[in-house]
Amino acid sequence: MSDAEPIFDVAHLSHAELLTPRFDQSVRFFKDLMGLYETGRDDTSVYLRGYEESHHHSLRLTRADEPGLGHIGLRTTSRAALDRRVAEIEAMGAGIGWVDDATGYGPAYEYRSPDGHRMRIFWEIERPEVAKDQRSRLLNRPMKRPGIGVPVRRLDHLNIMCSDVAPVRDFLIRSTGARLREAVVADAGPVIGAWLSHNNINHDLALTMDMTGASGRLHHVAFYYGVPQHLNDMADLLRENEIAIEAGPGRHGITQGSFLYCFEPGGNRIELFGDEGYLIFEPDWQPVIWPERDLALGLSYYGAELPLTGAAIGTPPRPIPDPAEIMARIQGKA
C-alpha cells in the first residue's frame, strides 16, 4: 500500500474539444441525435452541453481539416488547487502557458501530455442563463430534458491513444492526481490500456496503446445515459440516420460499463455509455491488473466483439497495420 498523500486538486473532466472536417453535419449529429444543447458559437466553434450539465459546455466542436482531439479540459476543486497543479506541471516541464481563447471558463493553463495530447486546467466556469422555454420544472436539473433524439445526460470520459501508455499514465498521476483503477499489461511488459479517474467514477481518462505507433491521437469521447436501454434506442436511431455503428450495445469486462460505439459524421469515435459500471469509494483502491490472456474478456464481457484492430482506429486516421505488426507491438518488438 502506498503511503503517498492522495491529491484531490482536480474535480472532474469538464470538457473535450473535438475537431471535425464536416462541421455542420457534426453539429447536427450532436444536437439532433444526442440531444445536446448549443450554448455558444463563434467563427470556429460551437459549444454544447447535456441537459444535466450546468457549466458552459462539455463539448466544443471546432472546424478543422482532419478529425481528432483539440484539447481536454479539467476543472480543479479551487483556485489554490489550480495554482498547485500549474506549479507541478511547470516543474515537470510540460507547461505551454495561460490561454486566451477560453470561452466559458478560465483563467486556464495549457500543457501537453508526454504523447502530445493538449490539456487545459482551470477553476472558474461560466453558468449561462437558461432561456425560459429551456428551463426544467425540476429545480435540480439545469435544462429541460430535450424531446429530440435520445438525449445524453453528460460527458463521461475520454479515451486517448498513446504511442507508449506508461509515461502518460505516470504523467496523469503526478500532474493532476489521477488514480489508476484498472490496466491491461502484456506478458512482455508493455501496457496495452489504463483506466484512471480523478473522482468516484471508475475512469474519466482512459489510455489505449496506439497500434499504429502514432502519438497524441483520440480513441473516443464518451457520453453518459445511466440507462442501458437507451443504447438500443440510440442504435435504432443511428441506423435510421445512416450513422456507422462500430460495436454494441455490449458490456465491458474492464470497468463493467455498457457501451455502444459509433462514428460521428466528422469521423471521431463516440461512445454512448449505458451505465457507469461500479463506483469507487475506497481511498486505498488497488488497481486491477488484467493479464494479456484476459484481454478479450476485459474489452467485451458480452454483447459485441471488440477486436484489437479497434486500437489502431482513431483520429486523425492512420493506415491500420496487419495483425502481425499489432502482435509485435504488444510483445514490445515494434
State the residues that interact with Fe ion by CB under 5 A: 159, 222, 271
What are 97's strand-pairing partners? Answer: 110
In the complex with Fe ion, the residue whose CB is nearer, 15 or 85, is 15
In the complex with Fe ion, the residue whose CB is nearer, 222 or 313, is 222
- 3-state helix/strand/coil string of 60-107: EEEECCCCEEEEEEEEECCHHHHHHHHHHHHHCCCEEEECCCCCCECC
In the complex with Fe ion, the residue whose CB is nearer, 31 or 219, is 219
In the complex with Fe ion, the residue whose CB is nearer, 159 or 300, is 159
Q: Shortest distance, CB of residue 19 to Fe ion, whole angstroms?
A: 19
Sequence-distant (6+) residues with CB within 8 A of 221 are: 16, 18, 59, 155, 157, 158, 159, 268, 269, 270, 271
> Nearest to residue 263, comparing CAs of 244, 288, 279?
244
Q: Could you give the C-alpha distances from 18 to 44, 45, 110, 123, 314, in angstroms and in order?
A: 12, 10, 16, 21, 12
Q: How many CB atoms lie within 10 A of CB 73?
A: 28
Q: Shortest distance, CB of residue 262 to Fe ion, whole angstroms?
A: 12
Q: Shortest distance, CB of residue 129 to Fe ion, whole angstroms?
A: 33
In the complex with Fe ion, the residue whose CB is nearer, 160 or 185, is 160
Q: Shortest distance, CB of residue 144 to Fe ion, whole angstroms?
A: 28
In the complex with Fe ion, the residue whose CB is nearer, 39 or 208, is 208
Q: Shortest distance, CB of residue 220 to Fe ion, whole angstroms?
A: 6
Q: Shortest distance, CB of residue 263 to Fe ion, whole angstroms?
A: 14
In the complex with Fe ion, the residue whose CB is nearer, 31 or 252, is 252
Q: d(Cα 200, Cα 203) in Å, to the nearest integer?
A: 8
In the complex with Fe ion, the residue whose CB is nearer, 55 or 157, is 157
Q: Shortest distance, CB of residue 195 to Fe ion, whole angstroms?
A: 9
Q: Could you give the C-alpha distances from 14 to 293, 316, 322, in angstroms and in order?
A: 35, 22, 36
59-63 and 10-20 strand pairing: parallel
Sequence-distant (6+) residues with CB within 8 A of 251 are: 257, 258, 259, 300, 301, 302, 303
Residues in the chain: 334
Q: Shortest distance, CB of residue 157 to Fe ion, whole angstroms?
A: 6
Q: How many CB atoms lie within 10 A of CB 54?
A: 14
What are 19's strand-pairing partners? Answer: 62, 68
